[in-house]
Amino acid sequence: MAFLAFGQLKLRQLTFKVEKFSMSSNLATKLRVGTKKAHTMAENVGFVKCFLKGVVEKNSYRKLVANFYFIYSAMEEEMEKHRQHPIVSKIYFPQLNRKHTLEQDLSYYFGANWREQIQLSPAGEAYVKRIREVSATEPELLIAHSYTRYLGDLSGGQILKGIAVTAMNLSDSQGTAFYEFADISDEKAFKAKYRQNLDELPLDDATGDRIVEEANAAFGMNMKMFNELEGNLIKAIGVMLYNSLTRRRARGSTELATAE
């Protein structure tokens, strides 16, 4: 009887280990559902609404590119630091890195001495500070920033590229290197792999919830950057046109699907 009880105990332990190993965090779904409201809110910021309707003011846009340069540089530096981390390593894909492409775009918009001309806006500075902070204290939260930016760039970002090219009369891929992923041959397949890796992360519910919360915070930081640009945009196009372009749309409607 003692031998049988011992055998049953070992069987239960083995079953628990198998279940734990095969446990899915379903983080991709949690992020998609958990950030849906924030995503819609971000699309309804005036600067983004004008962009989606084909009104892109070059000076405002190049300031956004400058902010992105600092943000992606920080994110990619911190991801690199944690490339061996048991969690972060699973969604560490250097082929996603945007720093080099942003340097190309900054050279186009500002000229050869672009490094001396660009600077972080207050909202951009807060964004970079947050990325550094989570890297130092809870690296798992870098997943939220990677998800929010990179999956958006691979999805809705491709729509934005076409709008930017038309609105600013760009040619020969000048000024839009940011949206081009030369090291990813099949973007749809890559996004599927990325989401699969998210779902397979060995996370408990509490950590998953914190990642979703951080992703919503990242959307908020992006919105603050967009809001900073509205003043320049209004000066360029006029208050009446701006107001006509930013009238409230039907609640819940979206034009981009960054997480799809």
Q: Domain coordinates of the chain in residue numbers?
A: 27-245
Task: Please state, as a whole number, how many other Cβ atoms lie within 10 Å of the Cβ of residue 231.
Answer: 11
- What token pair was written down for 168? 């600013």
| Closest to 231 measured CA to CA, from 116, 71, 121 | 121
In the chain, which residue ranges form alpha helices assigned H by DSSP?
A: 2-22, 27-34, 36-43, 46-52, 58-81, 99-110, 114-117, 122-137, 142-146, 152-154, 156-167, 187-199, 205-237, 239-245
The pLDDT, as a whole number, for residue 18 is 38
Packing angle, helices 58-81 and 122-137, rounded to 10: 10
| Model confidence pLDDT, tens digit, residues 48-96 | 999 999 999 899 999 999 999 999 999 999 999 999 999 999 999 999 9
Indicate the pLDDT class of residue 24, thresholds 50, 70 and 90: low
Question: For the structural domain made of 27-245, what CATH number should be given?
Answer: 1.20.910.10
Q: What is the pLDDT of residues 184-214, one digit of tens each?
A: 999 999 999 999 999 999 999 999 999 999 9
pLDDT (0 to 100) of residue 238: 81
Residue 251 has pLDDT above 60, yes or no: no
pLDDT digits (tens, 9 = 90+) for 207-246: 999 999 999 999 999 999 999 998 878 777 787 777 888 8
Asked if 233 and 46 touch (Cβ cutoff 8 Å), the reply is yes
DSSP 106-123: HHHHH-TTHHHH----HH
**Mean pLDDT estimate for the chain:** 87
Q: What is the pTM of this model?
A: 0.86
Of 9-18, 32-41, 128-137, 168-177, which gets the smallest average pLDDT?
A: 9-18
- d(Cα 4, Cα 177) in Å, to the nearest integer? 66
